[in-house]
Amino acid sequence: MSFRPFLFVLYLLLFARIAAPQAQAPALLPADDRYKADLLLIVAHPDDDVVIGGYLARIALDEHKRVAVVHCTNGDGGGNAVGNEAGASLGQMREIEARRALDYLGIHNVWFLPGHDTPGQNVLRSLDNWNHGRALDDVVRLVRITRPDVILTWLPDPVVGENHDDHQASSVLAVEAFDAAGDPTVFPEQVSPPRDRTGMANLTEGLLPWQPKKLYFMTDAFEDWGPYWHDSEALSPYRKTIVDHTGPVYETSTISPSRHMSYAEITAEHQAFYLTQEGDIGVQALKSGMFADFEYHAHLIFGKSLVGGTVTGDVFDGVSPQPIAFARVHGYEGPQQNGLLFEIGDPWRFYAMFWKAHDLDRLAELIPIPEATPEAGGKLALNFLACDRTAQPAEISVIPTMPAGWTTQPQFTNYPVRAGECYPIQVLLTAPPAAKSHWEQLSWTATAGSHPVGTVAVRVFVGKNGGLPQ
Ligand SMILES: [Zn+2]
């Protein structure tokens, strides 16, 4: 063979080697189906699930839906009805209570985030205490892991009777995660493929963006929440706007085909696992065989749907297994009004902006007048904002109108407001002792010189002990 043909053959061999098809790449691994949820419940504390226990039993045991639960705290700030253990130790025990209680309902994928239980009534305090951004990172990750069709959470609204700031904080995170988990630019490290899946020290997580389809809320601030409310009759006049025709309602006196007992009795069994909390109510019901206290309806409040259905229709109406495209929400827009303004402050002002930004405008109709309830001893702090959206400074006067017996501090009436700014006004009130729980309406009227600026009314629920009715 001469040299030239030899090179030609070598060239062919090399070319053939380069152009030959490579070995077939393996199929991509699917997302781990063990963690797939039809419904993801996002709550604040171990035992928050009891209010919706009958519904969870129905879908998990008899409709064979996959349910997963995220607790934003382990309840380390709660009391202990059966032992001396408190704080972090109690939190560890409450995790086990929740795992056992949910296991009884056939729910095994249960997570606890590191937020601390923060007793109070201002959602923004809980979000701060939980490190809002870090907590949202965790919740978005769990939405992407569980890929839920439906997210169920507490009602993001300061409702008297359901004012626990942690409950509301869990719902704020759930709403934010509903709208963010499908967006690959939010926590992008979660949706970037790992460098080497089977190797060590992968710092990107290999999840996929996920858009949940329907969002529902739950609340315990309604009158037939039997075992817990002592003042439900007094509360009820303003509860109808929350529960009547706002979402699907499920009976709990019906019999579970799989367990051959009512969903109310199943809820009593479920409740009885939470012995450090109100578990004894379940224990006593099981001893007596009387479950009337657990026959409260499971009320859900419709939040929004990206797959149709009606407000009061079944939670899973319109849901099919196919993933849906990311749905962009409205988002925040700057202030819409000019001139001088007087409005209620946080957390109510936050919610008014939050609902609009997350396409939940309908929540503004549930409680048309802001509600509040004093702490024990009758003390109540409220916040207002006096805003000047003009080019000139202004002096805004604020005068309260209160029922007899109420006192207020401080005694300032005139607030200097610079152009383009808002003056935060905090009002400390003391309610007179009340023989009976009842509602009162208070109002504050703002003027600038002789011009009216605005009036804000607040409904205050005064419990018979001066504080929360629970
Ligand atoms: Zn709770």
Sequential pLDDT tens for the chain (470 residues): 455 665 555 555 555 555 566 789 889 899 999 999 999 999 999 999 999 999 999 999 999 999 999 999 999 998 999 999 999 999 999 999 999 999 999 999 999 999 999 888 889 999 999 999 999 999 999 999 999 999 999 999 988 876 689 999 999 999 999 999 999 999 999 999 998 888 878 889 999 999 999 999 998 876 554 444 555 666 666 777 787 889 999 999 999 999 999 999 999 999 999 999 999 999 999 999 999 888 888 889 999 999 999 999 999 999 999 999 999 999 999 877 889 999 999 999 999 999 999 999 999 888 889 998 888 778 899 999 999 999 999 999 999 999 988 988 867 899 999 999 999 999 999 998 887 888 899 999 999 999 999 999 999 988 765 444 43
Ligand 1 center from residue 275 Cα (angstroms): 14
Q: Ligand 1 centre from 37 Cα, in Å?
A: 22
d(CA 30, CA 192): 15
Distance 154 CA to ligand 1 centre (A): 9
Q: Angle at which helices 263-272 and 279-288 pack, to 10 degrees? A: 130
Beta bridge partners of 342: 386
Closest CA to 374 of 436, 433, 457, 426: 433
Distance 201 CA to ligand 1 centre (A): 37
159: tokens are: 């409702």
How far does residue 240's CA lie from ligand 1's centre (Å)?
22
Report CA(352)–ligand 1 centroid distance (Å): 23
Among 39, 58, 97, 91, smallest CA distance to 270 is for 97
- How confident is the model at residue 409, as a pLDDT? 80
Cβ contact 195:428 at 8 Å: no
Ligand 1 centroid vs 459 CA: distance in angstroms? 24
- Å from CA of 44 to ligand 1 middle: 6
pLDDT tens, residue by residue, 390-403: 999 999 999 999 99
Cα of 432 vs centre of ligand 1, distance in Å, is 29
378 alpha carbon to ligand 1 midpoint, in Å?
Answer: 23
CA of 125 to the centre of ligand 1 (A): 15
Expressed in angstroms and rounded, the spacing between residue 163 Cα and the centre of ligand 1 is 10
Dist. CA 47 → ligand 1 center (Å): 7
Give the pLDDT of residue 47.
94
- The CA 77 to ligand 1 mean position distance, Å, reads 10
**Long-range contacts of the stretch 463-466 (C-beta < 8 A, 24+):** 463/231, 463/373, 463/374, 463/434, 463/437, 464/231, 464/434, 464/435, 464/436, 464/437, 465/376, 466/374, 466/376, 466/377, 466/378, 466/431, 466/433, 466/434
Measure 60 CA to ligand 1 centroid, in angstroms: 21
| d(CA 187, ligand 1 centre) in Å | 28
- What pLDDT shows up at residue 293? 84
74 CA to centre of ligand 1 in angstroms? 10
- For residue 45, the CA-to-ligand 1 centroid distance in Å is 5
Q: Each residue of 409-440: pLDDT tens digit?
A: 867 899 999 999 999 999 999 998 887 888 89
Strand pairing class (67-73; 109-115):
parallel
Ligand 1 midpoint to CA 278 (Å): 11
For residues 394 and 386, what is the distance between their CA atoms, to the nearest angstrom?
10
Q: How many CB atoms sit inside 10 A of residue 58's CB?
A: 20
Give the Å distance between the CA of 129 and the centre of ligand 1.
16
| Ligand 1 center–CA 48 separation, angstroms | 5
- pLDDT given at position 232: 61
Distance 385 CA to ligand 1 centre (A): 30
d(CA 79, CA 175): 29
CA of 146 to the centre of ligand 1 (A): 23
Q: How far apart are CA 54 and CA 293, in angstroms?
A: 12
Instruction: Tell me the CA–centroid distance for residue 271 and ligand 1, in Å.
Output: 13
Distance 162 CA to ligand 1 centre (A): 9
Ligand 1 centroid to Cα of residue 305, in Å, is 26
Rounded to the nearest angstrom, the distance between the alpha carbon of 207 and the centre of ligand 1 is 30
Rounded CA gap, 355 and 179, in Å?
12
Distance 78 CA to ligand 1 centre (A): 9
Q: Cα(230) to centroid of ligand 1, in Å?
A: 18
By the 8 A CB rule, do 233 and 36 touch? no
